A and B are shown apart, each in its own frame.
Chain A
Amino acid sequence: DIQMTQSPSSLSASLGDRVTITCQASQDITNYLNWYQQKPGKPPKLLIYDASNLEAGVPSRFSGSGSGTDFTFTILRLQPEDIATYYCQQYVNLPYTFGQGTRLEIK
């Protein structure tokens, strides 16, 4: 199975900050990577697919980049509604695997 390692596991930032989360795959997944946002008590919400494509309706302050084994998810100018846990997910091979999540909090 492909292991997905997210860093950091938790993050505290101030409103307006630029926030960066990384995700490393245990083997090459080309660009078969998605990013989800999950708020407490809610299902995950797709933000980024194919490593860098913004899902329709998602604010442009969210972005993703990377290929191969190393990926980055960025939030420009953190907003209060961005407080959530973020997950990466690979889909190059079954079983599809998720990172362990990054919990984002307001400082």
Chain B
Amino acid sequence: EVQLLESGGGFVRPGKSARLSCAASGFIFSSYAMTWVRQAPGKGLEWVSTVSGGGGNTYYADSVKGRFTISRDNSKNTLFLHMNSLSVEDTARYYCAQNWKIFKSWGQGVLVTVSS
């Protein structure tokens, strides 16, 4: 069974940084692209970033490009999202999802609140 467990969320001041992690199990992690999707409180879903299985290819939404960095450690079956220069507009629940294009498995998400 695929399991994805996010961590690292919390309260962050505007302009500061945060790092999210997603621990994966139940599948061959390195064989799958991985994706971050976020959802602002009471709002819809927004694709944030995807990284290829080997980590060499990364893709970002314009809203986070240049501020967020997606990466992965295949030896530890872990996905990361490094978030810099956070703004209140980045307040959301961040989900990691297996694969790209079709998101069959999701974590429970982690809440990031950016506020002064």
A89 lies within 8 A of chain B by Cβ:
yes
Chain A interface size, under 10 / 10 to 19 / 20 to 34 / 35 or more? 20 to 34
What 0/1 readout, one digit per residue, does chain B (83-116) give for beta carbons within 8 Å of chain A?
Answer: 0000000000001000011111011110000000
Which of the segments A13-21, A43-51, A59-67, A69-77 contacts the partner chain? A43-51
Q: How far is the CB of A101 from chain B (nearest CB, A)?
A: 5
B27 lies within 8 A of chain A by Cβ:
no
B11 lies within 8 A of chain A by Cβ:
no
Separation of A45 and B103 alpha carbons in the complex (Å): 8
Contact B107 A98 (CB under 8 A): no
What 0/1 readout, one digit per residue, does chain A (5-30) give for beta carbons within 8 Å of chain B?
Answer: 00000000000000000000000000
Closest chain A residue to B6, Cβ basis: A43
Instruction: Name the prevailing secondary structure of the B interface residues.
Output: loop
Contact B104 A99 (CB under 8 A): no
Separation of A12 and B8 alpha carbons in the complex (Å): 38
Closest chain B residue to A45, Cβ basis: B106
Contact B101 A91 (CB under 8 A): yes
* Interface members, chain B 51-78 (any A CB < 8 Å): 59, 61-62
Contact B45 A44 (CB under 8 A): yes
B62: chain A residues at CB < 8 Å are 95
**With A94-B59, A95-B62 in contact, is A44–B103 under 8 Å at CB?**
yes
Q: How far is the CB of A87 from chain B (nearest CB, A)?
A: 6
**With A95-B61, A95-B62 in contact, is A46–B44 under 8 Å at CB?**
no
Separation of A55 and B105 alpha carbons in the complex (Å): 11
A49: chain B residues at CB < 8 Å are 102, 104
Residues of B within 8 A of A (CB): 37, 44-47, 50, 59, 61-62, 95, 100-104, 106-109
